[in-house]
Amino acid sequence: MADSQRSTPLLDELKKGPWPSFVTQIEEMADAGKEECDQLLRLLERSYVEKVGHWKHGGIVGVMGYGGGVIGRYSDLQEDYPAIAHFHTIRVNQPAGWFYTSDALRTLCDIWDRHGSGLTNMHGSTGDIIFLGTTTAELEPTFAELTANDFDLGGSGSNVRTPSCCVGQARCEWACYDAMDACHNITMHFQDELHRPFFPYKFKFKFAGCPNDCVASIARSDMSVIGTWRDQIRIDQDEVRKYAQGDEEGGRNTPLNIQRDVVGNCPTKCMEWDDNELIIDDSNCVKCMHCINVMPKALRPGTDTGATILVGAKAPIVEGAQLSSVIVPFAKMEPPYDEIKDLAERIWDFWGEHGKNRERVGELMQRVGLGNFLEAIEVDPMPEMVAYPRDNPYVFYEEYYEEGDEEDEEEDE
Amino acid sequence: MATERRTDIGPPHYSRFLPPVIKDNYGKWKYHEILKPGVMVHVSEGGDKLFTVRASSPRLLGTIGIRRFAALADKYCDGFMRFTSRHNVEFLLTDEAKIDPLIAELADLGHPVGGIGNAISSIVHTQGWVHCHSAATDASGVVKAVMDDLIEYFDGSTAIPGKLRIALACCLNMCGAVHCSDIAILGVHRRPPKVQHDNLAKLCEIPNVIASCPTAAIRPAEVNGKASVDIDEELCMFCANCFSVCPALPMADALNDGISIWVGGKVSNARSEPMFSKLAIPFIENNPPRWPEVTEAVRKIVEVWVDGARKYERMGEFIERIGWPKFFQLTGIEFEKQHIDDYKFAGLSFKRSAQLRH
């Protein structure tokens, strides 16, 4: 049972204020009898006093047959805090779009109350449900109960990490493809790659329904699939005029300055407004979403929709942070998404062969050069892939001609 | 009695968790409107309406807290709810009359509603001292202190020009991938690893440790008769990649760990292309439990943006328009040597024109 002697004056300061408190969440669990939560609070208070963390990594832990999904975590003060000496994380693959029923949430809570600390992250940075803190002995029983209830572990280590997606067509009119279906489909297709690490390092997929990119795919995933369209923005001119005039209904009672706030913000200056009609030169539109974001009742993405596929984003470790780069300017996104699956497998083949330990795909692209990378994954270079062509003249030509070559070549034809 | 072990089943199909109004209108939504802070309505081609109430969450939730959310979902939304990519909780309603009672109950439970549209949404963040081995600062505590201070911009009581996204990562590993945020709060180590010569060879593969260093600062060495490594401290940039592959090279150090602040990143393609965040403040000491120097610095940056930005203009767009010298002048942040990049491709960030504001 929780010890009534617990004293956490520094953490108590974080129970004050309007934002919901994580300290209160841990404390509730401690007061409900979770000894490990009580000791976690004491350990955290100590970190707040000492200004240093008290966790260690290392030691391979997991469930039978899987190489990922569990992250070993140990306190470096095991004798003082025995209940959290071993305090492993279990990553549980979230349903696409993070939708739940209350029953499903309670099922997860029941499992975690029986086998762990009862603490979670909803959700972790990659998108998983995070079960925070249990012992090695509880891993297999937790896994058995999760799978009995149709949940499975997510990725960790050098494997496909749990794919995630935005809310997509479930609740967003801007989704240019079925992001939740694509996410689920890809997750199911690559179950082996997700649970058994055999890559040089991690590989993340993220699916964003439109260029607003609510899942930050361009910054956070090795393969970023961002919805777009290639026909005309759909315009309802009456609704545009209502935005311009202001409308008492629907919270639009402030007139919108279409010239300044819409046309003036267009990155390619592809629109004109004559106080009556909005004219868009769609051939010069870069699908930035600004005008649609500002006037959702008047403008909508086109109907010839698909996605741009970009590759290589990562956080700084170790060669520096990168955003993803365009590899496929436009792909129709239809089940079973073979274009994405084939592309991913070609990238993994090359990366598996040439990648260094802990080298992300984005770093490999930098190291070998985007041109060589494209050749290796059998994708033709296109001007959409660069912001501008090279401005340095040192071109690595791979072959040169000798006197007489030209004639031979002609003879071959 | 042996039962077959289920593996590789993947997540449950999302269709099991979608409310009827979403199943009926999947892919058929026409437009949405923000009705008030934290509340929006999506309207389908056929006229069906789905109301969303977005509430704050600390991300770290106990099962007691989750069960409270589940009970609210039962009471107001036929049991349907979701979480967002920024750790918010969303309740999905079809009955407009239930919105205000739900908001009132959320307020009683300490979960303010907001974060939609031109607002500051929840802070994407990492584990920090709660559960991470490489943290240079806490995560949840800093987030709590910053959001307590910025609540007026979350709940809509103070209007702002556009979206502002804050993220926190407790070390350069950046599990929170904060590098494209309007404001990024990033834990930093400033002391090279303390080599545990006695057990390094037992815990780590020395060739892997050497290969892990991006600046080739690690060399093999024999110390007290034991195989170990030697670190050229002048070459160390505190990335902690070696610590990730070798626990015998701890980085954490109370005197030298702290927080840096970065500004002007975005992931959306709206108007301008996605951008990285750039360094605003190289170092602020850890000052738990409420990190007042950090909350003050973040507030100052937010206020400069609120005062100066045009409608819809993100932090990075605002700074590009006014220029970095003006940003440093307006925020009162001192420009130091650390602001100038000295890693790969550093020269790309140097000013190479005479286009200056005087």
Which residue in the set A16, A99, A287 is minimally distant from B14, CB to CB? A99
Per-residue model confidence as pLDDT tens digits over A10-44: 999 999 999 999 999 999 999 999 999 999 999 99
Distance (Å, rounded) from C-alpha B219 to C-alpha B234?
13
Residue A313 is which amino acid?
A
Contact predicate B159/B231, CB 8 Å: no
What pLDDT digit, counting tens, does each position of A58-102 carry?
A: 778 999 999 999 999 999 999 999 999 999 999 999 999 999 999
Tokens 């998108």 belong to: A127
At A253 the pLDDT is: 56
Mean of pLDDT values over B347-353: 80
Q: For chain B, how big is the Rg over CA atoms in Å?
A: 24
Residue B78 pLDDT: 98
Question: Rounded CA gap, B276 and B316, in Å?
Answer: 9
How would residue A250 be classed by pLDDT, with cut points 50, 70 and 90?
A: very low
SS3 A103: helix
Show which of residues 70-89 on chain B sit within 8 Å of chain A, judged by CB atoms.
70-71, 73-74, 79-85, 87, 89
Q: How confident is the model over A106-157, as pLDDT tens digits?
A: 999 999 999 999 999 999 999 999 999 999 999 999 999 999 999 999 999 9
Asked if pLDDT for residue A2 goes beyond 80, the answer is no
Encode pLDDT of B259-308 as tens digits.
999 999 999 999 999 999 999 999 999 999 999 999 999 999 999 999 99
Task: Give dist(CA A180, CA A184) in Å, integer.
Answer: 6
Work out the angle at residue B114's Cα, subtended by the Cα atoms of residues B111 and B115, and round it to the nearest 5 degrees: 120
The predicted structure's pLDDT at residue B139: 98
Query: Is A106–B174 a contact, with Cβ atoms under 8 angstroms apart?
Result: no
Q: What is the mean pLDDT of residues B236-243?
A: 93
CA dist., res. A322 & res. A336, Å (int)? 29
Instruction: Look at residue A100 in the predicted model and tell me its pLDDT.
Output: 98
pLDDT at A251 over 50: no
Q: What is the pLDDT of residues A292-313, one digit of tens each?
A: 999 999 999 999 999 999 999 9
What gap in Å lies between CA B341 and CA B238, rounded to an integer? 15
Asked if A25 and B135 come within 8 Å (Cβ–Cβ), the reply is no
Q: Does A248 score more than 60 pLDDT?
A: no
Helix (H, G, I), strand (E, B) or coil at B143: helix
How large a percentage of chain B has pLDDT more than 90? Answer: 92
B contact test, residue of A7, A14, A193 with most B CBs within 10 A: A14
User: With 80 as the cut, is the pLDDT of residue B1 above it?
Assistant: no
Contacts of B247 in chain A (CB under 8 A): 56-58
pLDDT at A412: 56
Res. A342 pLDDT band, cuts 50 70 90: very high
Chain B segment 262-291 residues within 8 A of A by beta carbon are: 265, 267-272, 274, 276, 286, 288-290
pLDDT per residue over B64-113, tens digit each? 999 999 999 999 999 999 999 999 999 999 999 999 999 999 999 999 99
Burial class (CB in 10 A: 0-12, 13-18, 19+), B110: middle
Q: Considering only CB atoms, which chain B residues are within 8 Å of A37?
A: 62
> For residue A185, is pLDDT > 70?
yes
Q: ipTM of this model? A: 0.96
Q: What is the pLDDT of residues B276-287, one digit of tens each?
A: 999 999 999 999
* Paired strand residues for B61: A120
3-class secondary-structure state, position A295: coil
Contact B57 A122 (CB under 8 A): yes
Predicted TM-score (pTM) of the model is 0.96
Say if residue B63's pLDDT is above 50. yes
The percentage of residues in chain B with a pLDDT greater than 70, rounded to a whole number, is: 98
What mean pLDDT, rounded, does chain A reach? 94
Best B268, B283, B284, B317 residue to mutate vs chain A (most A CBs within 10 Å):
B268
Residues 224-253 of B with CB under 8 A from A: 239-241, 244-245, 247, 252-253
A220 neighbourhood in chain B, CB within 8 Å: 177
**Over the stretch B203-212, which tens digit does the pLDDT of each residue have?**
999 999 999 9
Contact B60 A112 (CB under 8 A): no
B220 bridge partner residues: B229
State how far residue A392 is from chain B, nearest Cα, in angstroms: 14
B180 with A37: Cβ contact below 8 A: no
Q: State residue A158's pLDDT score.
A: 95
Half-sphere exposure (Cβ direction) of A107: Cα atoms closer than 13 Å: 13
Q: What token pair was written down for A4?
A: 């009534």
DSSP B308-324: HPPTT--HHHHHHHH-H
B282: phi then psi, degrees, rounded to nearest 5: -65, -35
Predicted confidence (pLDDT) at residue B12 exceeds the cutoff of 80: yes
Q: Output the CA angle B129-B131-B137, nearest 5 degrees.
A: 20
Residue A1 has what pLDDT? 45
Place of tokens 């750790």: B87
Determine whether the interchain pair A100/B82 forms a contact, defined as Cβ–Cβ distance below 8 Å: yes
